[in-house]
Amino acid sequence: MNLETNRTTQDGVSAVAVAVVGGMIAATALDAQTRPPTDLEILNYALSLEHLEAAFYNQGLRQYSSSDFAQAPFFAKLGDVTANEVYAYLSLIRSHENTHVRSLVAALRSFGATPVSPCTYNFSYSSVEDFLKVAQTLENTGVMAYNGVIGMINSPSIRTTAATIATVEGRHAGYLNVLNNGLAAPAAFDAPRTMAEILAAIAPFSRSCPA
Amino acid sequence: METTPQIHPRSSRRNFFTTGALTLGIGASAVTITGRPALAQTAPAPVTDIDILNFALTLEHLEAAFYNQGLTRFAASDFTGASFVPLVGTLISATVFDNFKAIRDHENVHVETLKTTIRSLGGVPVDPCQYNFGYTNFDGFVAVAALLENTGVMAYDGALGLIQSPALRTAGATIATVEARHAAYLNLISLTIPFPAAFDTAKTMQEILAAAAPFITSCIATPGVGGGATTRAVAGPKDASTIQQFLLLDGTASVAFDARPLRYAWTVLSGNAGLTGATTATPTAQFLLFGPAVFELTVTDSAGGTAKDTVTINYAGNGK
């Protein structure tokens, strides 16, 4: 693992996340469909979630510094080692989400499809602790989202890629559960959720999505 | 522009995921599961969903046995007194025992669920093996736990592309992300990065079985029978009290993890004897002189995994 590499790539991605020009329309339109989604539709659905996550961390870690985290009350309940890691680990999660966005955009383009653009978002947190709660919600939602669509992906290689993202979202979710005073893994099986369920769950975070 | 604070390694364990499977194990073991790159003469049939479920069950048996043993051996005080506790603070240390109990329960549920599923599809679930996890204290237990869970993630990520049934893919995914949560948690309390990369690594069944092999001492309890994670060799006859100068050896009781044909290779390890048909399941041994001879059977399964067993036969003359 090489965090220097992560830092370099993530700086290059920030400009992408700031350029808000698209929407989640393609994924939303699937609600009314009865046929199973195509692999490319699933990739665009995943991209819409990764846009959301990337924007969340890009905003939040711009808004809060490591000293803001250090002053948060929960910080006192962490030991020196884990406390000092919190900001670095959140920055690493941000880097992963931006990498997922970039990879999905590249994959969709390579298949001749048009990647969905990010929406504008409203995450409505007002403290470091709120931010961590929203992060926990988003990551656990991401796990349920990937688990809900992996079975429908026809291409074995796309399925493998989705699985290797899903388990990383699972790792993020486990970590954020612990920071929020929960069990890393609350059940023996994570719950798969349908696209419609996930889109309804994340709707409150999206202020506007360009048509 | 925001900057990413650096994470400094405090533990040599940070690197063990790249090398650990081969260095952390038990050392010499009766079990050998090794990759065989030169298997290409006949393309193996694609693995079935039942094969993949049994592969997953092999790993879940290993994990379940690991936690069942460890949580019997260690008391709650071992968890609260662990060396990492002062470093992680009360928020995390207060729930270490609870997290381990939850992880143990999850692995046991995975075992039972996979067995039920395999049976419902008309398959035969593999049995658990005998294990030696090689830790000597609580810190070692945590290190092995982290290794097993991270291996489990790579195993499921590798297998999900191979599963044919959409419903089984979903089931596999919902286990995979739980293994990932376990892995992240165990990395965290091992003071290493919970999510080391933007993508987890998908590994082949063969790579995973090789990584698991150091923890497996034998797969069935019968003395003199060797075995791999699920592929096992059984060399016979075990009872050769009345042998002739020419004797038929028998490897047909050997078992392949995927129930596909095995390849057989017999050798004479010691003694004055020869073999005819040494690459068949039932070669003929010919004793050249009186005295004991040791024959070794190596079976190779469709994934290139191997298992060995030996049989010792004492030739004391015709009619004995």
Contact A51, A118 (CB under 8 A): yes
- Phi, psi dihedral angles at B293 (to 5 degrees): -135, 145
Please tell me the predicted confidence (pLDDT) of residue A6. 33
Mean pLDDT of the B139-148 span = 96
For the stretch A28-66, pLDDT in tens is: 444 445 789 999 999 999 999 999 999 999 999 999 999
All residues of chain B having their beta carbon less than 8 Å from the beta carbon of residue A187 are 106, 178
- A91 in reach of chain B (CB within 8 A): yes
**Both tokens assigned to A190:** 């994570």
Say how far apart CA B67 and CA B107 lie, in whole Å. 8
| pLDDT tops 70 at residue A205 | yes
Distances (CA, A) of A151 to A38, A39, A192, B179, B217: 12, 11, 10, 18, 35
**Nearest neighbour of A174 by CB, restricted to B185, B196, B201:** B185
Q: Give residues with Cβ within 8 angstroms of A139, minimum separation 6.
A: A53, A93, A169, A172, A173, A176
Q: Which two tokens stand for residue A27?
A: 């994924």
| Chain B touched by A37 (CB under 8 Å) | no
Cβ–Cβ contacts within 10 Å for residue A42, how many? Answer: 25
Cis peptide before B237 (omega within 30 of 0): yes
pLDDT at position B203 over 80: yes
Greatest mean pLDDT range, A11-25, B149-163, B282-296: B149-163
Give alpha helix (H) positions in chain A: 3-18, 25-28, 39-63, 66-71, 80-110, 128-149, 156-179, 195-202
Domains in chain A: boundaries: 3-208
Is residue B312 classed exposed, middle or buried when 0-12, 13-18 and 19+ CB atoms within 10 A define those classes? Answer: middle
Q: What is the pLDDT of residue B308?
A: 82
**Residue B126 structure tokens:** 């593999």
pLDDT digits (tens, 9 = 90+) for B208-225: 999 999 999 887 533 333
* Strands of the sheet with B263-270, listed across from one edge: B263-270, B291-300, B306-315
- Among all residues of chain B, which has the CA nearest to that of A64? B2
Residue A187 or B275, more confident: A187
**Mean pLDDT, residues A105-118 taken together:** 97
Residue B319 has pLDDT above 50, yes or no: no
Reported confidence tier of residue B259, pLDDT bands at 50, 70, 90? confident
Instruction: Give the pLDDT confidence score for residue A18 in this predicted structure.
Output: 25
Q: What is the mean pLDDT of chain B?
A: 80
CA distance B316 to A131: 81
- pLDDT per residue as tens digits for the range B43-100: 555 789 999 999 999 999 999 999 999 999 999 889 888 889 889 888 899 899 999 9
Best of B181, B185, B200 to disrupt the A interface (most A CBs within 10 Å) is: B181
Neighbour-count burial of B251, counting CB atoms closer than 10 A to its CB (0-12 exposed, 13-18 middle, 19+ buried): buried
Task: Note whether A185 contacts B: Cβ–Cβ < 8 A.
Answer: yes
CATH value of A3-208 in 1.20.1260.10, 3.20.10.10, 2.60.40.10, 2.60.120.10: 1.20.1260.10
Asked if residue B171 has pLDDT above 60, the reply is yes
Looking only at the bridges linking them, the beta strands covering A206-208 and A120-121 are antiparallel
User: How confident is residue B33, by pLDDT bands cut at 50, 70 and 90?
Assistant: very low
pLDDT digits (tens, 9 = 90+) for A92-102: 999 999 999 99
pLDDT at B28 over 50: no
- Whole-prediction pTM: 0.71
Q: Say what the pLDDT of residue B44 is.
A: 54
**CA A192/CA A17 separation, integer angstroms:** 28
Q: Which residues have CB under 8 Å from B111's CB, separation 6+?
A: B57, B60, B61, B64
Chosen from A10, A164, A172, A176 to mutate, greatest number of chain B CBs within 10 A:
A164
Mean pLDDT, chain A, rounded, equals: 86
- A vs B: CB pairs below 8 A: 223
The first and second tokens of residue A54, run together, are 């990337």
What confidence category does residue A11 fall into, taking pLDDT thresholds of 50, 70 and 90? very low
Choose the closest CB to A167 out of B2, B157, B167: B157
